[in-house]
Amino acid sequence: MNTAKKAITFFDNKPCYEEAKKLIKSHKLFECETDGFTYDGFVQENNHDGYFYVVKKRIQHGK
């Protein structure tokens, strides 16, 4: 867990940090919107409390 990062949202009163992609040993808990971007929210079960983070959703445009 990188506590030097700034939390961009909260889930269940726990800070969520932005990551570039889904991390190992994680599962999806929620979706949220922050600053006009939609995110998938995950928890990584690597310690007692877990590491909460979000990954920006990729929007695919139709042809």
Q: What is the pLDDT of residues 15-42, one digit of tens each?
A: 999 999 999 999 999 999 998 999 999 9
In a domain, 5, yes or no: no
In a domain, 11, yes or no: no
CA distance 10 to 62: 32
CA distance 12 to 3: 18
Residue 33 lies inside a defined structural domain of this protein: yes
Classify residue 27: in a domain, yes or no.
yes
Is 62 within the bounds of a domain? no
Q: What domain range includes position 50? A: 18-56
Q: Is 1 within the bounds of a domain?
A: no
For the question of whether the overall pTM of this predicted structure is more than 0.95, the answer is no
> Count of domains in the chain?
1
Asked if the structure places residue 52 within a domain, the reply is yes
SS3 of residue 16 by DSSP = strand
Q: How far apart are CA 19 and CA 14, in angstroms?
A: 16
Please count the other Cβ atoms lying within 10 Å of the Cβ belonging to residue 39: 21
Please state the rounded mean pLDDT for residues 38-52: 87
